[in-house]
């Protein structure tokens, strides 16, 4: 069992957001509120419902982990997971919707004897109580674990039914946290309704500097209600790289320890104090290494984040 950890600063992300509002901009916040404490340790964010600290970058597995059993197919994924753990990250997010991904994650993490270093997150993606239970039992078997760290209702599918089951599973110790997910901004109103009406540990949704609508109401609400945030689609389904291909990073990106366009997008996301973790997906070990580097060193303050959005608009 992982033991909850607390930051030495004694302030929640809700406190940080309130301080930010009072200060007028993130540039007046204490440095620890917007950056890692040093350049050798990955940034961590607290899960509000428990106080446990979670590494701020993880791994998404949609499409990229849906492979067969051939060594050639799995070798790069094995290396991606090794790099993830080596960096100090732990969150691996999957779903039954992602084909063979859960099973591949389970096989590789068991074979590499790293199960105690992984924060397993997956989803229930079906309708009906009994079918939901059957699917979650399958996820446990595929991951080859007795307990899943985070179980989420995928795309708000039969939300009330599954949340009732997840509460029972959490009480029984079969999962540690529960939440809901979506990947489209059109679902934000529905997500906010669930956040207001249910007791959630996590909410997961799309967020990037190219699609930042969540900053208007969803992110502040999650912080105010004490719900941890996982940001998916950090590269906006690849649009980030189509837009920036062949373009130089602005020289001022070095001011927040940014060395690539992937880090530019991820550091923007982590620069919002309501974000607990971002989960870029990749099957390329070098891309994984580059992505994870965004969790180290300085993060942009709010003034810089506005500048980042403007720079992208002008490309």
Predicted pLDDT of residue 38:
59
| pLDDT given at position 86 | 98
Calculate mean pLDDT across residues 126-131. Answer: 98
Mean pLDDT of the chain, nearest integer: 91
What mean pLDDT comes out for the span 182-193?
98
* Per-residue model confidence as pLDDT tens digits over 104-118: 999 999 999 999 999
pLDDT of residue 39: 79
The per-residue pLDDT for range 41-97, each reduced to its tens digit, is 999 999 999 999 999 999 999 999 999 999 999 999 999 999 999 999 999 999 999
Higher per-residue pLDDT: 309 or 14: 309
Domains and CATH numbers, the chain: 13-21+40-313 (3.20.20.100)
**Over 60: is that where the pLDDT of 223 sits?**
yes
pLDDT reading at 37 higher than 90: no
Condensed to tens digits (0 to 9), the pLDDT of residues 155-169 reads 999 999 999 999 999
- Mean pLDDT across the stretch 280-298? 99
Name the residue among 198, 196, 189 with its Cα closest to residue 170. Answer: 198
Structure tokens at 1: 């069992």
Neighbouring CB atoms inside 10 A of 157's CB total 18
pLDDT band at 13 (very low <50, low <70, confident <90, very high): very low
Residue 150 has pLDDT above 70, yes or no: yes
The closest of 297, 301, 275 to 91, measured between CA atoms, is 275
- Show the tokens assigned to 303: 């003034």
Q: Quote the DSSP letter at residue 118.
A: -
* Torsion over CA: 84, 85, 88, 91 (sign): positive
Average pLDDT for residues 284-296, to the nearest whole number? 99
Mean pLDDT for 308-315 is 97
The predicted model scores a pTM of 0.89
For the chain, list the strands marked E by DSSP: 44-46, 53-55, 59-60, 91-93, 119-124, 148-153, 175-181, 202-206, 228-232, 277-278
pLDDT at 29: 43
Residue 150 and residue 120 in contact, taking contact as beta carbons nearer than 8 Å: yes
In the predicted structure, residue 206 carries a pLDDT above the cut 60 = yes
């Amino acid at each position: 069992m992982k033991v909850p950890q607390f930051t030495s600063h004694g302030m929640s992300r809700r406190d940080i957001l309130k301080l930010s509002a009072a200060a007028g901009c993130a540039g007046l916040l204490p440095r620890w509120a917007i950056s890692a404490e040093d350049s050798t340790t990955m940034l961590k964010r607290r899960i509000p419902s428990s106080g446990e600290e979670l590494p701020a970058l993880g791994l998404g597995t949609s499409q990229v982990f849906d492979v067969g059993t051939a060594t050639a197919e799995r070798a790069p994924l094995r290396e991606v997971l090794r790099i993830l753990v080596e960096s100090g990250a732990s969150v691996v997010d999957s779903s039954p919707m992602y084909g063979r991904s859960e099973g591949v994650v389970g096989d590789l993490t068991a074979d590499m004897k790293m199960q105690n270093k992984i924060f397993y997150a997956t989803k229930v993606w079906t309708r009906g109580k009994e079918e939901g239970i059957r699917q979650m039992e399958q996820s446990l078997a595929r991951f080859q674990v007795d307990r899943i760290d985070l179980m989420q209702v995928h795309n708000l599918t039969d939300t009330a039914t599954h949340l009732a089951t997840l509460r029972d599973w959490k009480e029984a110790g079969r999962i540690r946290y529960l939440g809901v997910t979506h990947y489209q901004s059109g679902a934000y109103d529905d997500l906010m309704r669930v956040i207001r009406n249910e007791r959630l540990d996590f909410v997961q949704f799309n967020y990037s500097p190219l699609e930042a609508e969540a900053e208007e109401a969803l992110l502040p609400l999650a912080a105010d209600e004490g719900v941890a945030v996982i940001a998916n689609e950090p590269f906006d389904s690849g649009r980030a790289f189509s837009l920036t291909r062949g373009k130089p990073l602005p020289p001022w990106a070095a001011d927040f320890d940014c060395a690539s366009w992937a880090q530019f997008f991820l550091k923007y996301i982590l620069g919002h104090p309501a974000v607990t973790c971002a989960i870029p997906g990749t099957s390329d070990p070098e891309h994984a290494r580059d992505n994870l580097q965004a969790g180290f060193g300085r993060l942009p303050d709010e003034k810089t984040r506005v500048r980042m959005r403007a720079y992208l608009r002008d490309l």
